Amino acid sequence: MPRNKGHNARAALLSLTLALLAGCGGGGGSDTPAAPPTLDATSVSAVAASDPGSALPANWQRGVFMEIFVRAYQDSDGDGIGDLKGLTSRLDDLKELGITGLWLMPIHPSQDRDHGYAVTDYRAIAPEYGTLADLDELLRKAHARGIGVVLDYVMNHSAAAHPLFANARSAADNPWRDWYVWQNSTPSGWNIYGNNPWHGAGSNGSSGVGHYFGGFWSQMPDFNLKNARVAEWHRDNLRFWLNRGVDGFRFDAVGNLVENGPAAWENQPENHALMAAVQGVLTGYARRYLVCEAPGQPHRYAEDDSCGSAFAFGQQYDIVSAAKGDTAAIARVAAYRSTASDTLAGFASNHDGFAGERLWDQLGGDGTRLRLAAATYLLSSPTAFVYYGEEIGMAGASGLSGDPRMRTPMSWTGSTANAGFTTGRPFRALSANVASANMAAQRNDPASLRSFYRDVIALRQSLPALTLGQYGGALAQDTRMQFRRVLTTAAGTDTVWVGFNYGDRAATLDIADLPAGMVLRRHWPAGAEDVTLDTQGRASVTLRARSFAVLQAVQTP
Ligand code: NOJ
């Protein structure tokens, strides 16, 4: 179900978003070939590995990441566009929330000059975001706070405006031609996300010097990743960033890397080999992390012979439905981790509309249900990703359509002029609920949504079994679900039990098969009494409507 739903929604939203980008950021351009620019030798030179080491603790990636759209997070210079210095100035907020990892959406110069996935220079920082020195400073200060930083990396395609592609399209015998994918005429039978992925390279899309493949958009030509030199160049780019101390990468669109025909354009065997080679680069460095975007087959890419870790795509729909009380979704959520690798990173929403609207909007602004959704993925996923603003209940922008409505400036204050995001004019409309849902209003309120996220993240940090233990005991009954995680170390066995009542009435959950004679200490909700297990390791716990409990088995005092 999620796969088809995701793909159909993805097709519609992607075309809309790319059309918008084409219209608003120099992204559309003309297909007219220009004289090939001279390639800067340093942009294609080999890069040898030189590991600066890592200041992060082992297993740091089994924590909570914040996905950050730098353009929208915090502006430091009043130009209305977020930047690296602005983000650095917010590290204490992120630390206080309990965040131990940042995923930065693309920060390279891009043709779209917006979400950044049409990269024009893989070894530079977009000037509106700052400089390499600003990134170094961000890394230094993040690491000092125990926060790792992973960058988005787009191996599937470049921007059409990238000098490599400008060369490749200029002539059939250009030396860079085979860095992209070409045919003399448009092949038939292709349809990707509702579009023909073949584009004429000549003036106004004519076939002058052939047709190139761009699965996402005419302005995003796919690299020819069957060309070993191209794949090695990408690994050089990765080493360029790893050598600076970047802690890893979120890899874009790994299901789309290689095409073998109109019925074989997604999730091809070559994709896994390419990603295993990428993983090989990262394992040459200390404590680096790779997480892949592969909505069609997340499980397969989470395995060791591929990315080793991937987003738990598909599950986010069930998390939202479970929070609404959908019993079938609750059963799927309970069962998910019984078979899914713990390297599948949980999340509720992200920057792409095909993954779902902003969580606040999906749940109709119901803060109780939003808390249930958040607790569901934060407590069951060893690695979890929060989409910036989710933790304060940011809504999308009214008056915007497509993905941009979910990529609004962070609501730091209730100012309807600038959200405290900039002293200038924000690059985009603000969230519709900026006046009521903002950081300033929530930071010091112990009952706020943001305080809830902080408390749940602190809870998972205080119970290592939740992130390192073995998942088991999954049981769903109507709107109730429970599971446990058991961590066995030289120090003994630590069992943590988690129960949810997504229903509208109080409900009792029966616990069985826990160590007899122990006490279940209540970590959540705060102030509730501990529960004593009977001689057969059983107990019953009653949960209020739309609530959850976290209990830890401890020896009877
Ligand atoms: C997936 C990204 O998440 C999306 O935002 C982007 O448009 C496509 N890949 C193409 O890079």
- Give the pLDDT confidence of 27-85 residue by residue, as tens digits: 333 445 557 788 898 899 999 999 999 999 999 999 999 999 999 999 999 999 999 99
Across the range 489-508, mean pLDDT stands at: 97
Q: What is the pLDDT of residues 208-250, one digit of tens each?
A: 789 999 999 999 999 999 999 999 999 999 999 999 999 999 9
Residue 11 has pLDDT above 80, yes or no: no
CB 216 within 8 A of CB 19: no
311 CB near ligand 1 (under 6 Å): no
Among 199-203, 371-375, 414-418, the minimum mean pLDDT is found in 199-203
Closest by CA position to 84, among listed 62, 107, 64: 107
Across the range 250-267, mean pLDDT stands at: 98
Distance CA 497, CA 509 (A): 11
| pLDDT the model gives residue 32 | 52
Token output for 533: 């297990």
253 CB near ligand 1 (under 6 Å): yes
**What is the CA(260)–ligand 1 centre distance, in A?**
21
152 CB near ligand 1 (under 6 Å): no
Residue 203 has pLDDT above 80, yes or no: no
Residue 2 has pLDDT above 90, yes or no: no
Of ligand 1's listed atoms, the one at least distance from the Cα of 157 is 11
**What is the CA(15)–ligand 1 centre distance, in A?**
11
**What is the CA(441)–ligand 1 centre distance, in A?**
33
Token output for 384: 């979890």
149 CB near ligand 1 (under 6 Å): no
Distance CA 519, CA 533 (A): 6
pLDDT band at 484 (very low <50, low <70, confident <90, very high): very high
| pLDDT the model gives residue 28 | 37
Residues 6+ apart with CB under 8 A from 446: none
Q: What is the 3-state secondary structure (H, E, C) of 74-134?
A: CCCCCCCCCCHHHHHHCHHHHHHHCCCEEEECCCCCECCCCCCCCECCCCCCCCCCCCHHH
Say which residue, 23 or 366, is predicted with more confidence. 366
User: DSSP secondary structure string, 281-322?
Assistant: HHHTSTT-EEEE--TT-HHHHTSTTTTS-EE-TTHHHHHHHH
Of ligand 1's listed atoms, the one at least distance from the Cα of 256 is 9
| pLDDT the model gives residue 367 | 98
| pLDDT the model gives residue 31 | 47
354 CB near ligand 1 (under 6 Å): no
Across the range 430-442, mean pLDDT stands at: 98
**What is the CA(16)–ligand 1 centre distance, in A?**
13
C-alpha R_g of the chain: 24
Q: CA 241 → CA 31, 152, 158, 249, 555, distances in Å?
A: 31, 11, 17, 10, 48
Burial of 34 from C-beta contacts in 10 A (0-12 / 13-18 / 19+): exposed
CB 525 within 8 A of CB 547: yes
Q: CA 219 → CA 72, 216, 226, 391, distances in Å?
A: 23, 8, 21, 34
Looking at the chain, the whole-number percentage of residues with pLDDT higher than 90 is 89
The three-state secondary structure class of 545 is coil
**What is the CA(373)–ligand 1 centre distance, in A?**
24
pLDDT band at 515 (very low <50, low <70, confident <90, very high): confident
155 CB near ligand 1 (under 6 Å): no
**What is the CA(231)–ligand 1 centre distance, in A?**
19
